[in-house]
């Protein structure tokens, strides 16, 4: 059963001690991943990981937390990185009004710049949103159609509808397994199968059984099985569908 974790941060320091063995374990268990950049440094690291590992794809972008560090020079280097053969998406980018680590107007401007960059390069986007839903939807509608995925989606059925109407995919991660997330489990029932992706956001957001521990891409299997249970489908069938969805969106097929 091949799986593609559509959102991981294997370059982060939490993997410093055992990165090589996690990557090897992923290869042997047929788990691929998109390693997602959050700033220039991690975007470079993503491209490097993808160059060295055929089961890793790279995304390059600036997280809303780091929007204040964005500049024309940063954008230029991102564009350069995104020309790499296995760089498949712009991201993660978006809005985070929960932690507000960059001013909100700066976040919105940098978000728009990256949506335009994605359009120019004909790449999908990997989107981050927290506590900024109305503004997030407004920016996306104003900027016009772009392919991509709303990562770690945690909204209800009406928010899912808005994402689908924007033509975007929905990334489902560990929070699907949290007892309090009944609205998310309900929302997931209504999402067309061809718009679903699975992810971990490793090292963050571990599934319920691993709360408080470091997450890793192998645990995407737990997300998949929770999702299969909710959709009343055989896990291997759903695995194949989400694998194909990811390959279609990112256009590069990972290999093991």
Cα–Cα distance for residue pair 256/162, rounded to 1 Å: 35
Kindly state the smallest distance separating residue 91's Cβ from Zn ion, in Å.
8
Q: Which of 208, 230, 234 is nearest to 219 (CA)?
A: 208
Nearer to Zn ion, 178 or 233 (CB): 178
Question: What is the separation of C-alpha 170 from the centre of its chain, rounded to a whole number of angstroms?
Answer: 9
Encoded tokens for 42: 């991690």
Cα–Cα distance for residue pair 193/202, rounded to 1 Å: 23
Which residue lies nearest Zn ion, judged by its C-beta? Answer: 201
For residues 198 to 237, the per-residue mask of contacts with Zn ion, x marking binding by CB under 5 A and - elsewhere, is ---x------------------------------------
Count of residues engaged in binding Zn ion, rule: CB under 5 A: 1
For residues 61 to 100, the per-residue mask of contacts with Zn ion, x marking binding by CB under 5 A and - elsewhere, is ----------------------------------------
CA 78-196-95 angle, to 5 degrees, is 45
The residue written with tokens 């590069």 in the block is: 252
Start-to-end Cα distance in the chain: 12
Q: Which stretch binds Zn ion (CB under 5 A): 14-22, 41-49, 117-125, 196-204?
A: 196-204
Kindly state the smallest distance separating residue 7's Cβ from Zn ion, in Å.
6
Q: Footprint of Zn ion on this chain (CB under 5 A)?
A: 201
């Amino acid at each position: 059963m091949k799986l593609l974790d559509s959102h991981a941060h294997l370059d982060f320091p939490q993997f410093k001690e055992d990165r090589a063995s996690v990557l090897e374990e992923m290869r042997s268990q047929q788990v691929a991943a998109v390693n997602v950049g959050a700033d220039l440094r991690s975007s470079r690291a993503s491209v490097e990981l993808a160059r060295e590992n055929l089961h890793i794809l790279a995304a390059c972008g600036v997280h809303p937390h780091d929007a204040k560090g964005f500049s024309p020079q940063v954008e230029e280097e991102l564009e350069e990185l995104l020309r790499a053969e296995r760089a498949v998406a712009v991201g993660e980018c978006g809005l985070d009004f929960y932690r507000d680590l960059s001013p909100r107007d700066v976040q919105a401007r940098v978000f728009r710049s990256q949506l335009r960059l994605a359009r120019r390069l004909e790449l999908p986007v990997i989107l981050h949103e927290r506590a900024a839903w109305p503004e997030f939807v407004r920016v996306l509608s104003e900027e016009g159609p772009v392919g991509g995925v709303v990562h770690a989606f945690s909204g209800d059925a009406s928010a899912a509808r808005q994402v689908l109407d924007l033509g975007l995919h929905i990334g489902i991660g560990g929070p699907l397994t949290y007892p309090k997330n009944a609205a998310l489990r309900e929302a997931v029932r209504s999402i067309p199968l061809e718009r679903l992706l699975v992810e971990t956001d490793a090292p963050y957001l571990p599934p319920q059984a691993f709360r408080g521990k470091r997450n890793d891409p192998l645990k995407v299997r737990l997300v998949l099985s929770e999702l299969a249970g909710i959709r009343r489908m055989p896990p291997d069938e759903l695995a194949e569908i989400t694998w194909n969805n990811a390959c279609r969106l990112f256009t590069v097929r990972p290999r093991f």
